[in-house]
């Protein structure tokens, strides 16, 4: 297990029967960029069982946070969802990823488009002071099926504003737009529908976009952005108008 760091769980939240998150300790030597992911998991029958998880905490937090679905028959999540405080998780020592603001061209507004647990990396990015220095506005659109799936809703509507570190930036520049597809809500519809209806007015000349979500979401929204004239980042240090996590694409 030398390749992996062992961290201790300090907090677990079950948002509903399908979603949970947890915090764990953070090794002093562990460094990452907001938007990065790690391989995370458990030791099962003497071997590491790992999956890619985006880091939901900011790179200056003294803990690590992760947001996950619960899959009853999933090899890992069927076990991970039963974590208790004080138990251990395994984590790769090298965080990686292409979902970073350094790979975006300069722009005025940053749109963070997420479905489901794709919210995770954006929870770190919206706490990044550098993001607020680079953009005049940051808009987080989180699309879920039902209202109960809007994990972190209270934090995104109130807690983030109360942050001593970035609260002033949040008040001036941040907007949270939750949208639901299967129930009545203030905003309804998939992200593609919001773009097509003009509810999200995206301009490749001034707007930059980050995507994280299901395979179908990444495909559909990417095609839509391409049709609007957005150029995707190559993910190799060559900036673009939008980025997504290439490691998660099948």
The label of the residue with tokens 């519809």 reads 189
Output the pLDDT for position 249: 60
Domain range for 201: 101-248
Low-confidence ranges of the chain (pLDDT < 70): 1-2, 249-250
Q: Which domain-ending residue is among 29, 60, 92?
A: 92
Pairing of strands 63-69, 19-25: antiparallel
For residue 120, give the nearest of 199, 26, 52, 204 by alpha carbon: 52
User: Same domain for 62 and 178?
Assistant: no
User: Same domain for 86 and 110?
Assistant: no
User: Same domain for 88 and 106?
Assistant: no
Output the pLDDT for position 3: 84
The whole model's pTM is what? 0.96
Check if the beta carbon of residue 60 is closer than 8 Å to that of residue 30: no
Handedness of CA 31, 33, 34, 36 (dihedral sign): negative
Q: Which domain-ending residue is among 37, 60, 92?
A: 92
The Cα 126–Cα 114 span in angstroms is 13
Using CB atoms within 10 A of its CB, is residue 161 exposed (0-12), middle (13-18) or buried (19+)? middle
What are residue 232's DSSP bridge partners? 242
Output the pLDDT for position 143: 98
User: Same domain for 135 and 65?
Assistant: no
Our count of domains for the chain comes to 2
What are residue 207's DSSP bridge partners? 109
User: Same domain for 165 and 216?
Assistant: yes
Output the pLDDT for position 210: 98
């Amino acid at each position: 297990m030398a390749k992996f760091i062992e961290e201790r769980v300090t907090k677990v939240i079950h948002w509903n029967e399908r979603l949970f998150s947890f915090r764990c300790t953070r090794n002093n030597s562990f460094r990452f960029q907001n938007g990065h992911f790690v391989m995370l998991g458990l030791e099962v029958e003497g071997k590491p069982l790992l999956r890619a998880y985006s880091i939901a905490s900011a790179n200056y937090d003294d803990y690590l946070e992760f947001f996950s679905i619960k899959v009853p028959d999933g090899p890992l999540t069927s076990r991970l969802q039963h974590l208790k405080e004080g138990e251990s998780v395994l984590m790769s020592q090298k965080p990686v990823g292409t979902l970073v603001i350094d790979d975006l061209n300069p722009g005025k507004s940053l749109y963070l488009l997420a479905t489901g647990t794709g919210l995770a990396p954006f929870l770190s990015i919206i706490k990044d002071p550098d993001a607020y220095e680079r953009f005049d506005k940051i808009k987080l659109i989180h699309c879920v099926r039902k209202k109960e799936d809007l994990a972190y809703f209270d934090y995104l509507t109130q807690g983030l504003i109360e942050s001593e570190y970035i609260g002033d930036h949040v008040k001036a520049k941040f907007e949270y737009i939750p949208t639901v597809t299967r129930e009545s809500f203030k905003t309804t519809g998939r992200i593609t529908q919001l773009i097509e209806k003009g509810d999200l007015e995206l301009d490749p000349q001034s707007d930059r976009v980050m995507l994280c979500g299901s395979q179908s979401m990444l495909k559909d929204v990417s095609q839509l952005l391409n049709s609007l004239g957005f150029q995707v980042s190559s993910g190799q240090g060559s900036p673009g108008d939008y980025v997504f996590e290439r490691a998660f694409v099948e």
